[in-house]
Amino acid sequence: MAETPWIDDDTIADLRARLRATRWPDAPVGTGWSLGIDVDELRALVAYWADGFDFAAHRATLAALPSRRTVVDGIGIHVLHVRAATPGALPLLLAHGWPDSGWRFRKVVPMLVDAGFDVVVPDMPGYGFSDAPPRVLDAREVAGLWATLMTDLGYERFAVSGGDIGSHVARYLALDQPDRVVAVHRIDGGLAWPGLDASTLSAAEQEFVAATDRWRTAEGAYAMLHRTKPQTAAVGLTDSPAGLAAWIVEKLRSWSDCGGDLWSVYTRDEVLALVTEYWATATIGSSMRMYHANAAIPASQLARRVEVPSGFSIFPGDIVRVPVEWLERTTNLVYHHELDRGGHFAPFEQPVLFVDEVRAFLEPFRR
């Protein structure tokens, strides 16, 4: 049965009051984004969120989504589901990451349906409008949930596309459900895992390992916190909407192909739609806890090779550029394309390019 995600009036009133009462930190003159969030830019965004953002319009947008609620292995799941008009359309599961939700794919759902796909976009447990799981789940366990979800929706065979944590979910679907996953599309190849024998790697792969190490040192502190002490940060982020916005917006700017200008890629309303949903659902803590679970996945699982036909669309503004040699080593690579624009949130940043990539890769599997 369809069910509309909702954000009630009391939640909005409380949010506005908290935004107006924000206690701001000091910031050295000229700091900008060099130490994290630009406090002056965040002040302006928070002021707009409190007194300019159209909550009624956002609720109308949510009400118009093709939403449904279902229960998978005892967990309430929110999913967008649209069938194409074309009989026998290829089902396509889209898997999001952090710090987002099904929000990542909202622009591309109607485009992919028009292109002849049945589209399924679930919010992971503890993200978006899905329930938090009773225990922390890792990406492989979420992949198992999505296999069950697709069975429940009547799909025995399907394709999958994912990015960020969703890339890992897509990978485990292909690894653990090879008879059901027709093909797997990913917009990143992940990061190099620790303990690799560099002598077995090509020069490009060795540089990939080095780039991964540099990124972890320069940008990975958030992930270490998520892995180790997520509940500590969750207290402040669940209590302060300005703090929540800082945590999410800084990542949108750092990981998008925006040249340092976030608003060249997103509108304020688009960004605040995502942050508002995190606030209203109080899911920042449950979303971060997934890093803790993923950190415990054994190295033997990370090293498994994907034999399902795999395609990669590599966007230049993503976190670390993965060389084709690594993709050939770790997957049955049948499609690889490096694009000239787009970043970590490519389906939202460059929806037309993303849809073109999905269509190009999956066309041979629709016959």
Asked whether residue 36 carries a pLDDT value surpassing 50, the answer given is yes
Question: Has residue 129 been placed in a domain?
Answer: yes
Q: Look at residue 31 and tell me whether its pLDDT is greater than 90.
A: yes
CA distances from 248 to 227, 239, 284, 288, 333 (A): 17, 15, 9, 12, 33
Task: Give pLDDT, residue 250.
Answer: 98
- The predicted-structure confidence for 340-354, as pLDDT tens digits, reads as follows 999 999 999 999 999
Q: List helix spans (H) across the chain.
A: 9-20, 39-51, 55-64, 109-114, 139-152, 165-176, 203-219, 221-228, 230-239, 241-255, 268-281, 284-295, 299-302, 324-330, 346-349, 351-362
pLDDT digits (tens, 9 = 90+) for 46-58: 999 999 999 999 9
pLDDT value, residue 2 = 46
CATH number for 56: 3.40.50.1820
Q: Is residue 3 part of a domain?
A: no
Q: pLDDT tens for residues 207-251? A: 999 999 999 999 999 999 999 999 999 999 999 999 999 999 999
Query: Above 60 in pLDDT, residue 178?
Result: yes
The pLDDT assigned to 198 comes to: 84
- How high is the pLDDT of residue 1? 35
Q: Please enumerate in sequence order all residues whose Cβ is within 8 A of that of 345, keeping only pairs 6 or more positions apart, or say none.
A: 100, 104, 163, 252, 255, 256
Structurally, how many domains does the chain consist of? Answer: 1
Q: Tell me the pLDDT of the chain averaged across its residues.
A: 96
Is residue 95 domain-resident? Answer: yes
Three-state helix/strand/coil letters over 249-302: HHHHHHHCCCCCCHHHCCCHHHHHHHHHHHHHHCCHHHHHHHHHHHHCCCHHHH
pLDDT-derived band at 3 (thresholds 50, 70, 90) equals low
Contact 72, 148 (CB under 8 A): yes
Average pLDDT over residues 314-320: 95
- pLDDT over 50 (residue 184): yes
* Residue 169 exposure: Cα atoms within 13 Å on the Cβ side: 32
Is 28 within a domain?
A: no
The pTM assigned to this predicted structure is 0.96
Residue 350 lies in a domain: yes
Q: Give the confidence band of 9 by pLDDT, cuts at 50, 70, 90.
A: very high
Segments forming the whole domain that contains residue 153: 9-18+37-366
Residue 280 lies in a domain: yes
Q: How far is CA 23 from CA 26, 46, 226, 243, 309, in A?
A: 10, 12, 24, 10, 52
The answer as to whether 109 is a domain residue is yes
Q: What is the pLDDT of residue 197?
A: 86
Query: What tens digit of pLDDT does each residue of 247-305 get?
Result: 999 999 999 999 999 999 999 999 999 999 999 999 999 999 999 999 999 989 999 99
Per-residue pLDDT, 4 = 65
Q: Quick check: is 206 in a domain? A: yes
